[in-house]
Structure 1
Amino acid sequence: MILRFLKERRSWILFFIIIHFFILFIAFIDSAIPVQSVLYIVFLSMIAFIIFLSVRYNKETAFYKSLADRENNLDISSIPAPESPFEQLVEKTLSEQAQSLKKDALHNRISLEQEKDELLSWIHEVKTPLTAMHLMIERMEDDVMKTHLTYEWLRIHLLLDQQLHQKRIPFIENDLYIETVDLESVIFSEIKTLQAWCIQKGIGFDIQLDQKEVLSDAKWLAFIIRQILTNAVKYSVASDIIIKCWKQGDQVRVQVKDSGRGIDPKDLPRIFDKGFTSTINHHDHAATGMGLYLAKKAAIPLLIDIHVQSIIHTETAFTLIFPKRNDFAAVISV
C-alpha cells in the first residue's frame, strides 16, 4: 500500500523536489542569497514534508485499505465512513452499484424460480400422457413393435426424470428424509423399470445382497442407483450386471459392475463433470453427460462416496460407499 500511495502522489512529490532544486539553483547563481541558509531551509522543509507524507499516508489510505480487505460481496457496511470528497464519491458509487446489482440479482432469482416452477409443472403434466402411452403400449399384441415402443418410451421417461431431479438438486437439503431404506426393494424397482430395455439387449442381473438395509434417503438413493444402472445397461450387451452389497467395517458398500465397453483411464477423472461424455466415443449422440454428474451431485449431501474402477473394453464397477451412522447426525438435523 505504501508503494501505491507514493505512486499516486508521485506528481506532487516530484513538484516539491523540483521546486526545492530550483530554489537551490537560484541560491547558487545569486551571490546575494546565502547558500548555506538556503540548504538549511531546504533540509528542514524535506524533513517536514516526509513527516507530512507519513501522516497523510495513514489518513488517506485507511478508506482504501478497507476496500482492498473487504469480502467480494454486495455488503458495503464494512467500509468506514468517507472523509474526503473523493472518498465520498467512491462510497456513493459503490453503494449505487451494490443496490443496482442486488435488484438485478433479485430479479434474476425470481425469474429462475418461475422458470423452474414452470418446467417442473410441465414435466408433471407430460407424465400424465406418458403414463397413458405406457398403458397403451402394454396392450399391444405385436411383440416386436411393443418392444421398440417400450424402449423409446423408457428413454423419454428417463430423460424427464433426469430433468426433474436436476431442477430439484439445488434444494436437495430441504427434501432429505434420512431413514432405514430397504435396498432390495429399491434395486428391484429400478431393474423393473429398465426391464424392457434389458430384455432387448440381452442383459441379466446377478444380485448378491449380504446387507439389505442402508441409512439414506429412499428417493434420492433410488435416483443415484437409477443413473448408475442406466449407464451400465446403456454400454453393455448380452451380459450380466452384477450388483453386490456388503458391509466393510462400519460402512455399507453397494457395487454395480458391468461387462461393457469400459472407461478409458484418461476419462476416469472427468466422468462426473457436467456434460462430459467420452473422448473416444464422440459419435454416441445419445449420451448427454448428465447422468453421472447428477448422481454425484445428489450423493454429496447424502455423504455417499462414489468410486469407479474400470478396465477398457472389459468392465466397469461403480461402488457406493455409505457413511457411518454417526456421520448422519448433521444431515438428520437439517
Structure 2
Amino acid sequence: MNKMKFFKDGLSYLSFNIFIFLIINIYLFSLNSLKSNYDDILYLDLIISLFYIAFIFIRYVKYKRNYDMLYNLLKNEQIIESEAIKGDTLEESFIKEVINRNKNFMNNKSKKYEEALKEMEEYISRWVHEIKLPISALNIILDRIDDIELNNSIKNQVEKINSLVSSVLYGSRLTSLHEDIFIKEEKLKDIIEKSIRNNAFFLIKNKIDVKLDNLNQNIYTDSKWMIYVADQIISNAIKYCSDVKKIEFSSYDEENCVVLNIKDYGIGIKKEDIKRIFDKGFTGINGRNKIYKSTGMGLYFSKRALDKLGHKIEANSKENEFTEFKVYFYKISDYLNVTKM
C-alpha cells in the first residue's frame, strides 16, 4: 500500500484539523485569564497531538488492512471480486456495489457476445456444408470436360475454393476449440497420408515429390485438427516451392515425446521473418510480393490449434535452401501433465 497516497488523500482533512487546532490555540492564548497557564495549554496541545497521531496511525492500519488486497489486485492487473473489500463502511459498501454491478454487466455482455459468436459459428458451419455440394457437383461436371487444359484450369480453381472453404470452417471453430477436441491415440502415418491426399491435386500439378520415412508411430492428438495443421504446412510448401520440388516427412523419438519433422526445399524464409511466422496476419517479404499471395492466417491458426492440443511447434529455415517444421507430440504421461498446465 502506498503511504504517500494515503496521506495525500487525507491532506484536506488534516489541513482542516490543523486549522481548527490553531484557531483554538489563538483563542486560548488571547484570553487574559489564561496568560499564566501557557505551559498547561502547551501540555494539552501535546496530548491532543499524540492522540491525533495515534488516530491517524490506527486509521492507516485499518485502511491498509481493508484495501491492501484490492491495491495488489489492481497492481497485478488481476480480476477484482467484491470479497476483496473487507470493511463495512459507507465507502466500502459503495465500492462493493460498483464491483458487483460491473461484474453483472460484463457477465451479461459476455453472454450476449458468446451467443452471437455461437450463432455465427453455426451459420458458417451450415454455409460450408452447403457450399460443398456445388463444389462436389463441379467436380462431377469436370469429368465430362474432354479438354485437358480447360479441365485442369477449372480443377485448379475448384481446389482453391475447396481449400479456402475449409480454412473458413476451421478458423471459425478455433474460437470454441475446447468444445471441438477429442484426443485419442492415432497413427501418425494415417494423418500425414490423409493430408497428402487432401493436397494431391496441387502436389501432382506442381510435380512435387513426397517422401515418407519412419512414420509408424502412435501419437495422442485430435486427428481432425492435426490434419488441418499438416494441410497448412503442405500448402505453404507447395506455394513456396522452388527447383527442388520435394517434401520430406519423418519422425523420431525423444525422451518424452514423438517428433514429426516436415521439410521442404523451397525458397525458404528470411532470417528476420522466422520468429514472426506464427503471428496473426504476418505474411513476411515472400507473402507480400505478387507471386506468392498469402493471408498470414494459416500458420497463425495452426499454432493456436497446436497450443490447445498441447503440442509444441518449431520452425527453422535457410533462405533459398529449405524450411523445416517440427511438431512435438508428448507421450501419454507427459501429455497429461502438459494439458493440466
1:302–1:331: 8 Å Cα contact kept in structure 2? Answer: no
In the alignment, does 2:16 pair up with 1:15? yes
Alpha-carbon contact 1:254-1:321 (below 8 Å) kept: yes
Letter paired with 1:276: F
Q: Give 1:255 shift.
A: 1.6
Residues 51 and 13 (structure 1), Cα distance of their counterparts in 2 relative to 1, 3 Å cut: same
Deviation at 1:203, TM superposition (A): 1.8
Secondary structure, counterpart of 2:263 in structure 1: strand
Report if the CA contact (8 A) 1:304-1:321 is conserved.
Answer: yes
Once residues 267 and 303 of structure 1 are traced to their aligned partners in structure 2, the CA distance between those partners, rounded to angstroms, is 25
Provide the rounded CA distance (Å) in 1 between the counterparts of 2:226 and 2:278: 17
DSSP 3-state at the match of 2:288: coil
Determine which of 38, 43, 58 is the counterpart of 2:46. Answer: 43
1:265-304 superposed Cα distances (whole Å, 9 cap, x missing partner): 1111111111111045423573111111111122223332
SS of residue paired to 1:300: helix
Normalising by the residue count of structure 1, what TM-score does the alignment of the two structures yield?
A: 0.87
Counterpart of 2:211 (choices 190, 194, 206) is 206
Alignment partner of 1:207: what SS? strand
Where structure 1 has 5 or more consecutive residues not aligned to the other structure, the ranges are none
The match for 2:158 among 142, 145, 153 is 153
Query: Partner letter of residue 98 of structure 2?
Result: T
Residue identity matched to 1:269:
K
Alpha-carbon shift at residue 187 of structure 1 (Å)? 2.2
Counterpart secondary structure, 1:113: helix
In 1: Cα distance, 2:116 partner to 2:206 partner: 43
| 1:291 counterpart residue number | 298
> CA shift at 1:250, angstroms?
5.2
The DSSP-based 3-state class of the residue aligned with 2:271 is coil
CA contact (8 A) 1:74 1:102 kept: no
Do the aligned residues in 2 keep the contact of 1:265 with 1:312 (CA within 8 Å)? yes
1:177 and 2:182 are equivalent in the alignment: yes
Q: 1:171 to 1:331 in 2, by over 3 A?
A: farther
Question: 2:331 is matched with which residue?
Answer: 324
Q: Is the 8 A contact 1:203 1:237 kept in 2?
A: no
Q: After alignment, is 101-110 or 89-98 more displaced?
A: 89-98
- Tell me which moved more, 221-230 or 133-142: 133-142
**CA distances 1:3-59 after superposition (whole Å, capped 9, x unpaired):** 322212111212222343445555666665333222112111101111222233334
Aligned to 1:311: 318
Alpha-carbon distance in 1 for matches of 2:338, 2:129:
28
- Corresponding residue SS for 2:309: coil
Matched ranges for 1:239-250 at <5 A: 239-249=245-255
Deviations, residues 160-197 of structure 1 (Å, cap 9, x unaligned): 21221222234334433333423333323322222222
Q: Is the 8 A contact 1:66 1:80 kept in 2?
A: no
Residues of 1 paired with 2:57 and 2:203: CA distance?
Answer: 79
Change beyond 3 A, Cα 1:193–1:273: same
CA gap 1:89/1:265 in 2 versus in 1, 3 angstroms = same
The one-letter code of the counterpart of 1:73 is: I
- Per the alignment, residue 135 of structure 1 pairs with 140
* Aligned positions of 1:32-111 closer than 5 A: 32=33, 33=35, 34-70=37-73, 72-73=78-79, 75-80=81-86, 82-83=88-89, 85-111=90-116
Deviation, structure 1 residue 99: 1.9
The answer (yes or no) to whether the contact 2:85–2:92 under 8 Å persists in 1 is no
Is the 1:308–1:316 contact (alpha carbons within 8 Å) kept by the matching residues of 2? yes
